Structure formats: structure tokens, C-alpha cells
Amino acid sequence: MHSRRTVLTTAAAAAAAAALGVGEAHAGPSPVPSPPAAVERLRRLIARMSPEEKAGQLFVMRVYGHSATDPDPADVAANRKEIGVADAAELIARYHVGGIIYFGWAHNTRDPHQVAALSNGIQEAAAALRVPVPVLISTDQEHGIVARIGAPATLLPGAMALGAGGSVADARTAGRISGRELFAMGVRQDYAPDADVNVNPANPVIGVRSFGADPQAVARMVAAQVGGYQSAGVAACAKHFPGHGDTDTDSHVGLPYIHHSAQEWERLDAPPFKAAIAAGIDSVMTAHIVVPALDPSGDPATLSRPIVTGILRRRLGYDGVVVTDSLGMEGVRVKYGDDRVPVLALKAGVDQLLNPPDLSVAHAAVVRALRDGELSEPEIDAKLLRILLLKERRGLFADPYTSREQVDRVVGVRAHRAAADRIADRTTTLLRNRDGVLPLSPRRTRRLLVAGVDPAAPSGTGGPPTAVLAEELRRSGFTATVLPTGTAPSRELIARAGAALAERDAAVVATYDITASSAQRTLVEELLATGKPVVQLAVRNPYDIALLDGVAAALASYSWTDVELRAAARVIAGRRDPAGRLPVAIMRADAPQTALFQIGHGLRY
């Protein structure tokens, strides 16, 4: 992985680290008290920075391309259009950014070796600066429905699936596996775990990204994942403070309001964040949500000093790094212009500014506010010290580089993939099983129709779901015919599915966020009309069964990624006992205040 230049810059980085007196990364909980000598040396590093360099270190930015210096022409064009630079190296040279975030859609995450090479190229560019500071590379590797880096990296069950499994040990193991693989690819910060308590079934942005609806259970899982990630040398990030779990608006496209009272916030939303802080979490991400009970100004939490400084810093005692959610999201842009948002976030108490829509505008605004005194230099220096101490804890001053050999030793290895399957086997939840329809048996129902949705899986996570289900069922002795019908099947496709089932013994149908008027609901009714056994599997939110009273057998996998679908197929075939328990309540469709299934519900064979 290292070129000759990389080896030389590695040595230079080591020499710089020695000059600073910065030691190895801490593997245990953090933030931890740093040696006074290290703090003083990092302060001297900050003192060498110009206002432009200080401002740049506060930003975490996207950049297009698989390479730091030689991206594809289309990525160069996208970078020039959106950022005014050609590539990651030019981004670092011009703006001195302290962090870079990887996205699949930005073509940063083709495969693990490429990711590691990109990470090394980014660190080489940072080492060449007048004031060399390693870059904190981050991504959203939550697993489940949000995974930026796909196979052959190990893909693990997502948060709500882990919540259904209920095992703190499994949550910690999943975090540790993910952290080890990210570290090997040069990624030292993961924007996970999600600490939101999903008490609103209509939540369009959190849902299965949350561990569940019980604040204390979520708190236990969050703390376990923090320990897992950070024991592997990767900074965890609890999001989205002060809690995004009870909203029916997506902050990507609007400004959500959370109408919890202060007492309700303390009981429902605060426990997971308190647990993350107690576990020594490195960073906390703010939410672009309005919580009038915590700040009546109407400002989103990201821009709220009463929330960030008053509650997170002072009341909860958190002194680690605070990062905004993406500043390109509509929720933070509806009230103020893009030049004011980063300044107001910093004044609120935030340290890192994530992914502004126009970096030149945001950077210039921070420099201007620093020069004009709207942002005080001591306050900015304190933010920079938090960020640099996080980088020191995670080993970036000691050695920010990785290697091809490290990727091969760690990423997607057999032991990790086997652990992912074992964890997934403990998450599938059996919601209903009238008349003992499940498990299916090849002796009675050999010929299966596998129909339903095939949502686009996160890049590299496999699929399509119906094909994955069918292949795993074939391993159990069934014959399986696949008929993808999508989220909005036509009447013709619905009729085809009914006709196909008439010639087979049973159906497995994958559903995805069914509504009262959904054509998926009509599809299931068509299949039920054949009189053949129909097994319904909810592959995202588990609430679909509330609208499918006629279904005799229903399960939830909490995601449509391969690891969870294979586990669900093993349960359907009786190769595994359904071990998951609902981490959220499912309310009746005709009486929304009444639970159809309570938290903790889950049948066994």
C-alpha cells in the first residue's frame, strides 16, 4: 500500500510526532485526561496556525473520487463545481480541512484496498502542509440500512436488529469488528452509534437506525457500541443530540420539531447520551431539530447555545468533540444563510462543522468572524485543542497511515463474517405464527414463491433481497422461484404473483414500510386469496404487520442487507429458532393508541 513517498512521509510524521511528544492511541474509553505535556505541545501547534488554517481545521468535508490525487474526470468535474478544487489533495492544500467524510455516492468507497489507498493519499497531502496536522477521516458505517463501505468488508446487523437481539455483548462485538476494519482502511471516526430513541413509528429518518423505543435498553446498547468501536481505536459518535427519535419530519428536507417537555426529554431522550458520555465517547453529533422545551428561540439544536453549551456541555458535563450533522441539510438552513450557519454553530458550542454546502462561503465566514472578534481566538483554540486531542488519542499523530497488508489481515476475514452471521441469527423476530405455519418444511411446502420488494441496498452490501432469500432457502432444501414486485407493484404484476403462487406450495413475501393504500398490501391480499400459506417478512420497519391482519406468519429482519436476510431465511426454514424480541411497540392500525404487539414480544418455535 505504501509508495516510497508514503514511507518517507510516514517517517516524517513519526518525527513530527516525536517532536510534539505525542504518544500512542488510547484503546480504552475516552475522552480521557491527556498528559499535560501533550496538551501544551498541541497548544504550541495551534499557536503556529493562521486564522485561515485554524478555520480549516474546524471543517469536515466531502470530496469526490477514489484517489486523493488522481480521481476520475467526472469526479474532478464534480469537485470543481461544488468545492472549487480538483481533488482531495487540493482541498487540503487550499482549505487546511481537519476532516474528510467518505460517501459511496462520492466514489470514495469502491473496495477496502482503494479506501486504504485514498486514506494514505489524504494523510500524505496533510503532511505536506506548512503546519502539518493529520486528517480525521470519518464515515457513516452504522450497518443495517446505512453502510458506506460494502463487501468484502464485513456487514453487520443494524441498530434495531441488535436491539431485537438484546445482547450487550453482541452490540459490543459488532462495534469492535466494525472499528477494527475501519481502522485498517484508515478511517478513525465512525458516525455511530445512533443514540436516538425511536418512539414514533412515523419517523421517516431514524426508524431502524435506532436500537429501539425503550430509553434504558437503548442506553445499554449505545454504551456497548461505544466501547466496541473505541477499543478498536476508532472514535465513536453518538447522534443526534438532543434526540431525533420522536419526529415525523426528515431534517434532510425540513426542520423537525420535538414537542417533548423538559421532563419527557430527561426520561426519553437523555439516557442514551448520558450512557455514551459515561462510556467515554469521543464525539457527539447535533441534530437539526427544534425542541422548544429546551430552547424556545426556534433555533435548531445545532445552532442553540442553550442546548449545546447549556445542556450537553454544562448539565451533562461533556467536554469531548461536538460535531454538527451535515450543514447541507435543509433543517439547519431554513432560518439562516449558509454564511451564518457555521458561525452560529461554533458560537453555540460546536467544534466541528460537517459538510457545508459551499465550503468557500463557510470558511470565509468563519475567518471573518475570527478576525472581527465575533468568534474569540481563545474559544476557537479550545475547539481546536479538543479536535487535536481526539486525533492524538486515535493514534493519528503517531502514525496516520495504513497498508495493504493490514487490510488483508483484518477486513472481511472469515472470523468476522462468521461472527456477523451468529449475531444476525439472534435478531430475527417472529411476530405471528397462526396454526403453526412456520417453520416451513421442504416435505410439505417444497415449492416456494419468493416475492416482494427489492430496495436498493447500500453500495456493496449485496442483494437483491428476494434473490438472497431464495438462495438461502434453496440451501435448506426448497425450490424457490423469485418474482420481484417492488414497493408499488402494478395490477398486472400482482395478478402474476397470484397466478405463480397458485402453482406452488407457499410464498415468502418481503414488505417495506406498507401504508393503508399501498399496492404492497394489495399484493399480500392477492397471495392470501390463493389459500396457500403466506409468510410475510418486514425488511425495514417492523410495523407492516399492523396492516396485514390476514397474514398467518409474519417476521421482522429490520433490514434488507444480506446478513439479516440470510438469518431470516434460516428461521423460516427452521434451521434457527427465532430469538429476536421487538425493541419497539407495534400499534394497531385501527386503534393507534392500542398495542398490537408490545416491546419484548417475540414468538418461539
575 domain-assigned: yes
Residue that terminates a domain, selected from 376, 410, 444: 410
Residue 281 contacts residue 226 (beta carbons within 8 Å)? yes
Which of these three, 410, 440, 470, is where a domain ends? 410
User: Do 447 and 397 have their domain in common?
Assistant: no
Query: Sorting pLDDT into bands at 50, 70 and 90, what band is 416?
Result: very high
* Domain encompassing residue 589: 428-597
**What pLDDT digit, counting tens, does each position of 559-602 carry?**
999 999 999 999 999 999 999 999 999 999 999 889 999 999 99
Is 325 labeled as catalytic in the residue annotation?
yes
pLDDT for 549 equals 92
Structure confidence at residue 322 as a pLDDT band (50, 70, 90): very high
Instruction: Quote the pLDDT of residue 455.
Output: 78
Same domain, 302 and 446: no
Mean pLDDT over 64-68 rounds to 98
264 located within any domain: yes
Select which of 246, 282, 325, 562 is catalytic: 325
d(CA 360, CA 82): 10
Q: Helix, strand or coil for residue 116?
A: helix
For 311, the 3-state DSSP assignment is helix
Residue 325 maps to which CATH number? 3.20.20.300
* Residue 87 falls inside a structural domain: yes
Position 49 pLDDT exceeds 90: yes
pLDDT, tens only, 464-521: 899 999 999 999 999 999 999 999 999 999 999 999 999 999 999 999 999 999 999 9
Q: What is the mean pLDDT of residues 389-400?
A: 95
Task: Indicate whether 372 and 485 sit together in one domain.
Answer: no
* 139 in Cβ contact with 446 (< 8 Å): no
Residue 249 lies in a domain: yes
pLDDT on residue 304: 96
Classify residue 525 by its DSSP letter: H
Are 385 and 444 found together in one domain?
A: no
Q: Judge whether 415 lies within some domain.
A: no
Question: Do residues 157 and 200 share a domain?
Answer: yes
Q: Is residue 337 part of a domain?
A: yes
Same domain, 178 and 214: yes
Confidence of residue 113 (pLDDT cuts 50, 70, 90): very high
Statement to judge: residues 383 and 463 lie in one domain: no
Q: Are residues 347 and 482 in the same domain?
A: no
Edge to edge, the sheet with strand 353-354 lists 189-190, 136-139, 99-102, 59-61, 353-354
- pLDDT of amino acid 335: 86
Domain termination site, one of 366, 384, 410:
410
| Tens digits of residue pLDDT in 80-101 | 999 999 999 999 999 999 999 9
Contact (CB, 8 A) for 386 and 321: yes
Predicted confidence at residue 201, as pLDDT, reads 84
Q: What are the tens digits of pLDDT across the range 2-42?
A: 433 333 333 333 333 333 233 333 333 445 566 788 888 89
pLDDT of residue 23: 32
Q: Residue 460 belongs to a domain with what CATH number?
A: 3.40.50.1700
Residue 134 shares a structural domain with residue 197: yes
Strands 595-597 and 586-587: antiparallel
Contact of 569 with 414, CB cutoff 8 Å: no
Residue 468 lies in a domain: yes
Do 350 and 451 share a domain, yes or no? no
Residues 445 and 392 in one domain: no
Q: Give CA–CA dist 430/538, Å, rounded.
A: 10
| Residue 419 domain flag | no
Judging by beta carbons within 10 Å of its beta carbon (0-12, 13-18, 19+), is residue 182 exposed, middle or buried?
A: buried
Beta strand pairing call for 553-556 and 189-190: unpaired
pLDDT tens digits for 342-391? Answer: 999 999 999 999 999 999 999 999 999 999 999 999 999 999 999 999 99
Residue 8: predicted pLDDT: 31
Are residues 142 and 181 located together in one domain of the fold?
Answer: yes
Provide the domain count of the chain. Answer: 2
